[in-house]
Each structure stands twice: as structure tokens, then as C-alpha cells.
């Protein structure tokens, strides 16, 4: 069996750990693993190289991907099918394992299925926004990266009291990452793209936290309203200084956590076994805490919004009877 790995879309911690596990399994059974350099654009150009365990070992616990990725939608080109078939035949590829997020796994596996190319998808994004799975590879690592930054900020919050710390996470228009980080860090407030809020409510909430705890911690998703303006607006509402911490793309590149390394190993093993069993199309998902194979694609699943009850608890809305405007 000759398997080709393709990384499509954003990178995430855990990709290299999954590659290492799969390559190790394949080598034990005399199988060959190849990697596309540069996502599908690189694949269509025939930019493919063998993957060995020795090559991946130095990267196993590191973030990013030993295989460069791409977001270019080249499979929509008129000649993409012919070029892809030619490259796969030239390299004698039997099947494809695909790392990707919501966009990649929603659109690419159905295309490959239509072209009779066996494919297993691994949900890989720090945003945890792939429908049909409870967890995506890289999410836990991104949360842990945020905690390191927040812990550093709160050290200053304890030493220099009377300030508001606003921490912006990645996540795009999905608030799952920001909500999880706010929950784990004990934030006084969290702002998400999915739920509206009132500026004056937020000002009161943060001012009360500073009065009670000596500081306030606000976590906000990059795609939420106010992500670029609240650092200037909050002092006008509260007369309290704001310290703005933006995690940016560094949050995507942290080392893989224990949970993500284990998840990567289980996903890789499930993908390998599914391909050996001749599954045509599947996605490796987590359901009820267990890694399993979903046969087919994710077209029938819809994304659920972040936990509204948890959002209310963090923002103190259930205790006070207030509403944030959501």
C-alpha cells in the first residue's frame, strides 16, 4: 500500500506526531508513505517526496508541519482531475490521507470520492470548528499556548493592580477556542463572534472585577465585534487602563500537548487501519470521547455554536440576571 499525505489549509500542532505514527505503522507492514510538498498545488506539480520516520523524528513534538501546506483552491481548475490522476498514477499512489479544517474536509473528500480516489480526512485546526467531531487536532495545544501568555499577564496583574487585561485569541469567526481558554483561565468576561453584547454591560462587568479582584481578565476571539477597538473603548467606559495581549499566529505554532499527541497517534492508527480495510472515503472523528471512523464525508453535519450556558456562566449573566445583549 502506498499512501500520500496532503496538508491543506492552516497548520496545527499534532500534524507531525500523526505523520510519525502513520509512517512507523506503515514501515512495520512494508508499506510506503509519501508527502505532498505545498498542499494540492504542490501535488499537482508532482512535488512529492518519500516520508521516513528518521525525517519526521526531529519534528514529532513540534507545531507546524514538516509538509508545507497551501490554501489555493486548485482542485476547482478545469484540468485538475486529469493532472491529479496523472501524478497519482506516476507515483503509484493507492490512497490519500488529508489534514485539514472545516473548509478542506467539507469540500475536498467529496471531490476525491467522485474521482474514485480513496481518502481519509483528519480534522486538523486549532479552531475546533469541524462539524461531526467533538475535538480537532491542535485545539488543546492552542489552549495551552494561550494559558502561558495569560499566566504571564496575570503575574503583572498581581504586581501592578488596577488594570484590565484583554487577551485576543485566534479562531476566526468561531468562538470555541476563546470560550475554552476563558473557561480554563478563569476569565471575568469572554466575547465571541456568535453572541452580541452591550458595551456598557461589559464596562460594568470589568470594572466590578477590578474592584473585587484587583484586575480583570477579558478573553476575546479575533473575529468578534470590538476585537480591534475595545482596547481603546474600555478605558472610556471604565476609566481603567487596558493592557492588550494579542496571541496572533504564534498560537498556532506551539508545541503539541500531551492530549494532542495522543489524539494524533489514535487518529493516525485509525486512518491506517481504515485504508488497509479498503475504505473509500472517511473522516476520523471524536465522538463521546472516543476516536472512530466516520464513513463518508461531513456534508450532512452542521456546525453548532459555542456552549451558550458556559458563555453565560463566565460572563456572570446567570448570577446577576443581566444580559449581555446576545
Helix 258-276 to helix 139-159 angle, to the nearest 10 degrees? Answer: 170
d(CA 117, CA 28): 24
Among residues 264, 251, 249, the alpha carbon closest in space to that of 60 is found at: 264
Q: Which of 89, 97, 4, 98 is nearest to 49 (CA)?
A: 4
Q: How many residues does the chain have?
A: 326
Is 244 an annotated catalytic residue?
Answer: no
Measuring CA to CA, how many Å separate 27 from each of 70, 98, 267, 272, 298? 27, 19, 17, 12, 30
**Tell me, what DSSP letter sits at residue 223?**
T
Nearest Cα to Cα of residue 176 among 138, 230, 122 = 138
Helix (H) or strand (E) holding 242: strand 242-246
* Rounded Cα gap, residues 37 and 42, in angstroms: 5
Instruction: State the DSSP H helix or E strand holding residue 290, giving kind and residue range, or none if neither.
Output: strand 290-295
Q: Are 188 and 206 in contact (CB under 8 A)?
A: yes
Cα–Cα dist 142/138, whole Å: 6
**11, 127, 129, 140: which is the annotated catalytic residue?**
127
> H or E stretch including 67?
none
Q: Which stretches of 222-306 are DSSP H helices?
A: 230-238, 258-276
Known catalytic residues are 127
Amino acid at each position: 500500500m502506498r499512501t500520500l499525505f496532503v496538508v491543506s489549509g492552516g497548520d496545527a500542532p499534532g500534524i507531525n506526531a500523526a505523520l510519525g505514527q502513520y509512517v512507523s505503522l506503515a514501515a512495520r507492514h512494508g508499506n510506503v508513505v509519501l508527502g505532498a510538498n505545498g498542499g494540492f498545488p504542490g501535488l499537482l506539480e508532482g512535488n512529492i517526496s518519500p516520508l521516513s520516520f528518521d525525517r519526521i523524528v526531529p519534528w514529532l513534538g513540534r507545531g507546524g508541519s514538516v509538509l508545507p501546506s497551501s490554501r489555493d483552491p486548485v482542485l476547482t481548475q478545469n484540468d485538475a482531475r486529469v493532472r491529479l490522476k496523472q501524478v497519482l498514477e506516476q507515483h503509484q499512489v493507492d490512497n490519500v490521507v488529508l489534514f485539514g479544517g472545516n473548509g478542506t474536509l467539507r469540500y475536498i473528500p467529496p471531490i476525491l470520492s467522485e474521482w474514485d480516489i480513496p481518502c481519509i480526512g483528519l480534522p486538523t485546526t486549532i479552531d475546533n470548528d469541524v462539524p461531526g467531531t467533538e475535538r480537532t487536532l491542535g485545539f488543546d495545544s492552542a489552549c495551552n499556548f494561550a494559558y502561558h501568555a495569560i499566566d504571564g499577564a496575570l503575574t503583572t496583574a498581581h504586581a501592578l493592580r488596577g488594570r484590565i487585561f484583554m487577551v485576543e485569541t485566534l479562531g476566526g469567526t468561531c468562538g470555541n477556542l476563546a470560550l475554552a481558554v476563558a473557561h480554563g483561565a478563569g476569565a471575568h468576561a469572554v466575547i465571541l463572534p456568535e453572541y452580541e453584547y452591550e458595551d456598557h454591560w461589559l464596562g460594568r462587568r470589568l470594572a466590578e472585577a477590578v474592584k473585587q479582584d484587583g484586575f480583570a481578565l477579558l478573553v476575546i476571539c479575533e473575529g468578534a465585534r470590538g476585537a480591534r477597538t475595545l482596547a481603546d473603548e474600555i478605558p472610556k467606559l471604565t476609566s481603567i487602563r487596558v493592557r492588550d495581549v494579542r496571541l496572533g499566529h504564534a498560537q498556532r505554532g506551539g508545541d503539541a500537548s500531551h492530549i494532542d499527541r495522543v489524539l494524533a497517534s489514535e487518529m493516525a492508527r485509525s486512518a491506517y487501519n481504515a485504508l488497509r480495510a479498503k475504505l473509500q472515503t472517511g473522516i476520523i472523528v471524536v465522538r463521546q470521547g472516543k476516536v472512530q471512523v466516520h464513513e463518508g464525508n461531513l456534508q450532512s453535519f452542521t456546525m453548532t455554536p459555542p456552549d451558550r450556558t458556559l458563555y453565560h456562566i463566565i460572563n456572570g449573566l446567570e448570577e446577576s440576571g443581566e444580559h449581555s445583549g446576545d
